[in-house]
Amino acid sequence: MTSDPFFAGSDAPLIMGIINVTPDSFADGGRCLEPADAIRHAARLVAEGADVLDVGGESTRPGASAISSALELDRVIPVIERLTGEFDTPVSVDTSKAVVMREAAAAGAAMINDVRALESHEARTTVAELGVPVCLMHMQGRPCSMQVAPGYENVTAEVGDFLFERAAVCRAAGIAARNIIIDPGFGFGKTLAHNLQLLRELDRLTGSGFPVLVGLSRKSMIGAMTNREVGDRLAGSLALALLAAQKGATIIRVHDVAPTVDVLKIWGCVTGNRMGRSGGTSRDSVDQECRK
């Protein structure tokens, strides 16, 4: 018997906490490069209410350069092994490389998060064999050049068409429909106007039947709207997380777990939507308070 994915059945978004095991990620590069630092950071995210932990060893910020499989494995596998050994929280691996997907799953990872939407045949075959959930993200171009001059006739329609086509390709490769998540890829080959249109029309994706993951935390679109630097974009990140929740997002990927959980607790009490499934006492207690 095949069990449902960990994200199935939640009425409100799950919170994905970010663990970048990289020296050059745009918001937190270098902070978790050492495994011990990554584990301490993960412990804090779990305590704050993260429902899933996303571990990435290769930066995909605008202008980022690719790294070798060997280096990516060296960065992520020791961290994933410790995370899955010490915490019950599901772990996702943020990678486009089939070998990293295989080794991460062997180390206990429960999900693949691929910014390139399983473009390689080997990656699709690997995920089909592993039988784990996978997130397919839209990106126009490549990280090294994606923000040079992105252009669309209708960004929401084109992003949707791409993601649905990729989902069909993945299903043809043997990946179960219940394991497919889609991500519009905010900031990946998109201008501020493109990102805003995608967010306004996000329900066109969330109404498609596929779970939708969004990553808006601390991104340059917030800086463009508020003139805030990366480290001072919490308020903007929370506003966008709430808007994504209201539009039906299934998973919200964030750097700042505790304040995002608080925002969604308030939203949940007002709307009656239950919180995610982390099992943390703070979420259990707020559900009880809302019912009083």
CA–CA dist 4, 133 (Å, integer): 10
Q: Which residue has the tokens 């990927």?
A: 253
* Tokens found for residue 260: 């995002």
Which residue in 166, 233, 253, 265 is the catalytic one? 253
- What lies within 8 Å, CB to CB, of 235 at 6+ separation is 226
**Fold entry, domain 14-291:** TIM Barrel (3.20.20)
- The active-site residue out of 219, 247, 265, 283 is 219
pLDDT in tens, 9-38: 767 799 999 999 987 555 555 577 788 999
| pLDDT tens by residue, 165-215 | 999 999 999 999 999 999 999 999 999 999 999 999 999 999 999 999 999
- Paired sense of beta strands 180-183 and 91-94, if any: unpaired
What's the length of the chain?
292
What is the distance, to the nearest Å, from the Cα of residue 24 to the centroid of all Cα atoms in its chain? Answer: 18
- Write the Ramachandran bin of 159: left for phi over 0, alpha for psi from -120 to 50, otherwise beta: alpha
Residue 124: active-site member:
no
Cα first-last separation, the chain: 39
What is the dihedral sign for C-alpha 118, 79, 176, 276? negative
State yes or no: is 247 an active-site residue. no
Residue 1 clears pLDDT 50, i.e. is over it: no
pLDDT digits over 106-164, tens only?
A: 999 999 999 999 999 999 999 999 999 999 999 986 665 556 567 799 999 999 999 99
